[in-house]
Amino acid sequence: MNVISTRQLTKRYGRTVALRNLNLEVHAGEVYGLLGPNGAGKTTTLRLLIDVIRPTSGSITLFGEPMSPRLRGRIGYLPGDLVLYDRLTGADYLRFCGAMRSHTDLGEAVRLAKRLDLDLDREAGELSKGNRQKLGIVQAFGHRPDLVVLDEPASGLDPLAQREFHAYLREYVDGGGTVLFSSHVLSEVEQVADRVGILLAGSLVVQDTVASLKANAVRELTFTFAEDVSAASFSGIPGVRDAVQASGTEVRCRVSGAVGELVRAAARFPLVNVTSHEPDLEDIFVHYTEERGDDD
Ligand SMILES: Nc1ncnc2c1ncn2[C@@H]1O[C@H](COP(=O)(O)OP(=O)(O)OP(=O)(O)O)[C@@H](O)[C@H]1O
């Protein structure tokens, strides 16, 4: 089942098209990472989904229904620009958020705060950036929502807090929750997301599992031969993007998809060694960004 489904979702700010015909599907029980460089439209997407801004055109369905006040209570949200009341303690702030949602049980929030090593007795004005972020995360999950939408959640968290937060996310989705989060920290998305969407200049250019993106990504194979072999021998082989002469006896090929044809071709020469550079999410991200740049 799709917890989030958007159809041709578009948002313009005057002449700026922040989001263009977005068809996003987030499945129940998954962690979905929305990636993109600054200004790509991530925050716009998240704000549309939680109904703080309205689309120029297109539609949004959450839990199979159009947004309504009843649905709001099922959603937790961490904004990218979290505003806290400096004189309220963390506990006061959580009670305040709870009262607005008619959810007075702070049990889950207190448990998560403990896990993240956040002192709820301190006033927000005294908290460091990372601890303010933790309080924002705690309020997003505190009312036990079914869907949580997080804008750059790991921003400011130290590595230990990040690890604990990621473990919590996994437990939350294993318990039936669904998470959509935005990030431009590729390693974070790679670690924690089941599926990834890459937004570039307001358009979703790819949406897939991290594993599948990697399997289909361009990888680099370097062949070392016992004698000089020309890179031209490898151009035109299915999957080969380009073949570069690294030295007389060394050829570097960029290949997408299966590498069998290329390896068979290389084996016709006196092959001494093959090394493969496995693509990570960063390579994939750079690839789509460059491809997009080439189109423009
Ligand atoms: N309120 C607004 N008025 C005018 N333009 C806006 C407004 N909000 C966003 N934009 C523009 O819409 C585009 C998308 O912005 P958005 O904040 O969604 O990007 P983002 O991917 O979240 O970026 P970042 O990673 O920097 O937070 C940008 O060109 C931005 O300048």
Q: Which domain holds residue 258?
A: 218-278
**ipTM score assigned to the predicted complex:** 0.96
Whose alpha carbon is nearest atom 18 of ligand 1? 41
**pLDDT of 296 strictly over 80:** no
On whether residue 106 sits in a domain, the answer given is yes
What does the chain look like in DSSP terms, one character per residue? Answer: -EEEEEEEEEEEETTEEEEEEE--EEETT-EEEEE--TTSSHHHHHHHHTTSS--SEEEEEETTB---HHHHTTEEEE-TT----TTSBHHHHHHHHHHHTT----HHHHHHHHHTT--TTSBGGG--HHHHHHHHHHHHHTT--SEEEEESTTTT--HHHHHHHHHHHHHHHHTT-EEEEEES-HHHHHHH-SEEEEEETTEEEEEEEHHHHHHHSEEEEEEEESS---GGGGTTSTTEEEEEEEETTEEEEEEES--HHHHHHHHTS-EEEEEEE---HHHHHHHHHHHHHHH-
On whether residue 285 sits in a domain, the answer given is no
- Domain identity same for 78 and 151: yes
On whether residue 284 sits in a domain, the answer given is no
Q: What is the pTM of this model?
A: 0.84
**Domain endpoint, select from 184, 209, 234:** 209
**Domain endpoint, select from 172, 189, 209:** 209
Kindly report, residue by residue over 206-251, the tens digit of the pLDDT: 899 988 877 777 889 999 999 999 999 998 899 898 999 999 999 9
**pLDDT of 293 strictly over 70:** no
Kindly report, residue by residue over 121-150, the tens digit of the pLDDT: 999 999 999 999 999 999 999 989 999 999
- For residue 13, report the distance from its CA to the centre of ligand 1, in Å: 9
On whether residue 251 sits in a domain, the answer given is yes
CATH number for position 233: 3.30.70.1560
- Domain identity same for 202 and 226: no
**pLDDT of 104 strictly over 90:** no
The total of structural domains in the chain comes to: 2
- Domain identity same for 154 and 250: no
- Domain identity same for 92 and 229: no
- Domain identity same for 143 and 267: no
- For residue 201, report the distance from its CA to the centre of ligand 1, in Å: 10
On whether residue 229 sits in a domain, the answer given is yes
CATH number for position 44: 3.40.50.300
- What is the per-residue pLDDT for 288? 77
- Domain identity same for 10 and 107: yes
- For residue 41, report the distance from its CA to the centre of ligand 1, in Å: 6
- What is the per-residue pLDDT for 103? 76
